[in-house]
Amino acid sequence: MYLRGVHAEEQIKPLLNFIQQNPLGIFTTAIPSASHPLLQSSHVPWVLDIISDDADAPVKGRLRGHMARQNPQAKAIIEALQSSSSSTSTGDEVTGGGDGVLEQEVMVLFNGPHHHYVTPKFYVETKPATAKVVPTWNYSAVQAYGKARIYHSSGSAATSEYLGQQMKDLTTLCETEIMGYTGEKGTKNGPWEVEDAPERYLEIMKKGVIGVEIEIERIGGKWKMSQEMSVGDRNGVAEGFKNLGTEVGVAISECVRERGEICDEAKRKAKERL
Please state the domain extents for the chain.
Answer: 12-273
Name, in order, each residue with C-beta under 8 angstroms of 25's C-beta and a sequence gap of 6 or more.
19, 43, 44, 45, 46, 63, 65, 108, 109, 110, 144
- 259, 238 in Cβ contact below 8 A? no
Q: What's the average model confidence in pLDDT over 183-194?
A: 93
Q: What's the average model confidence in pLDDT over 166-192?
A: 95
pLDDT band at 94 (very low <50, low <70, confident <90, very high): very low
Q: Is the pLDDT of residue 93 over 80?
A: no
Q: What pLDDT does residue 86 have?
A: 66
pTM greater than the 0.85 cutoff: yes
Name, in order, each residue with C-beta under 8 angstroms of 134's C-beta and a sequence gap of 6 or more.
120
Q: Is the pLDDT of residue 18 over 50?
A: yes
- 221, 82 in Cβ contact below 8 A? no
Q: What pLDDT does residue 126 have?
A: 97
Q: What's the average model confidence in pLDDT over 83-96?
A: 55
Rounded Cα gap, residues 25 and 41, in angstroms: 10
Q: What pLDDT does residue 99 have?
A: 81
Q: What pLDDT does residue 223 have?
A: 98
**Residue 61 identity (one-letter amino acid):** G
Beta bridge partner(s), residue 29: 40
Name, in order, each residue with C-beta under 8 angstroms of 21's C-beta and a sequence gap of 6 or more.
none
* Tens digit of each residue's pLDDT (9 = 90 or more) over 234-271: 999 999 999 999 999 999 999 999 999 999 999 898 88
* Tens digit of each residue's pLDDT (9 = 90 or more) over 131-164: 999 999 999 999 999 999 999 998 899 999 999 9
| Cβ atoms within 10 Å, residue 9 | 19
- Average pLDDT across the chain, whole number: 94
* Tens digit of each residue's pLDDT (9 = 90 or more) over 206-230: 999 999 999 999 999 999 999 999 9
Q: Is the pLDDT of residue 28 over 80?
A: yes
Q: Is the pLDDT of residue 186 over 90?
A: no
Q: Is the pLDDT of residue 87 over 70?
A: no
- 219, 143 in Cβ contact below 8 A? yes
Superfamily for the 12-273 domain: Electron Transport, Fmn-binding Protein; Chain A (2.30.110.10)
Q: What pLDDT does residue 170 have?
A: 98
